[in-house]
Amino acid sequence: MPRITPLIHVIAAGAAAWAVSAAVHADGAVSRGALLAAMCDTCHGPGGSGSKSIPALNDLDADEIVETMKAFQEGEEDATIMDRHAKGYSEEELKAMAAHYAKSAK
Ligand code: HEC
């Protein structure tokens, strides 16, 4: 197996470079939003397009996303999981992610 290890490293480095370059094209706030949103996409689908029972994000306005995330943080919006997720982000980070999703809807 030792001969395979370097190849795996090359593939992993390539994947990481791709993920970062996808975020770097845009301006500051949106770029940061794309990086933060990569985690959200694991449940909400590529580009926040929705996945099975998990709602799409890319058809929401940026303001709607920020307001809903704040409601999750405050416990004002019913949630199975999003209340816990939302609590990890500052308002500035929520705005950056919302700008990313609102933009990817176009
Ligand atoms: C573990 C899976 C998971 C992850 C990761 C996740 N979500 Fe969610 N999200 C959900 C589920 C499930 C719901 C439906 C509400 C609930 O049950 O908590 C939801 C609902 C939402 C809604 C409300 C959508 C609507 O139309 O009402 C928003 C906005 C949202 N998520 C944003 C995000 C953002 C931004 C991130 C990244 C910080 C994120 N989510 C990460 C699973 C996830």
pLDDT of residue 38: 94
pLDDT of residue 103: 76
Model pTM? 0.80
pLDDT of residue 13: 54
Q: From the CA of 93, how far away is ligand 1's center (Å)? A: 15
pLDDT of residue 26: 47
53 contacts 43 by C-beta, under 8 angstroms: no
C-alpha to C-alpha distance for 106 and 102, rounded to whole angstroms: 7
Evaluate: CB of 65 within 6 angstroms of ligand 1.
yes
The one-character DSSP state at 54 is B
Instruction: Give the distance, in angstroms, between the CA of residue 35 and the centroid of all CA atoms in the same chain.
Output: 7
C-alpha to C-alpha distance for 77 and 105, rounded to whole angstroms: 23
Evaluate: CB of 103 within 6 angstroms of ligand 1.
no
| Separation in Å, CA 102 to CA 18, 20, 39, 76, 99 | 22, 19, 16, 23, 5
pLDDT tens per residue across span 25-84? 545 554 789 999 999 999 999 999 999 999 999 999 999 999 999 999 999 999 999 999
What does CATH list as the number for 5-104?
Answer: 1.10.760.10
C-alpha to C-alpha distance for 44 and 56, rounded to whole angstroms: 6
Structure tokens at 65: 């996303």
pLDDT exceeds cutoff 70 at 3: no
Other C-beta atoms within 10 Å of 44: how many? 19
φ, ψ dihedrals at 51, nearest 5° = -150, 115
If you take atom 18 of ligand 1, which residue's CA is the nearest one? 79
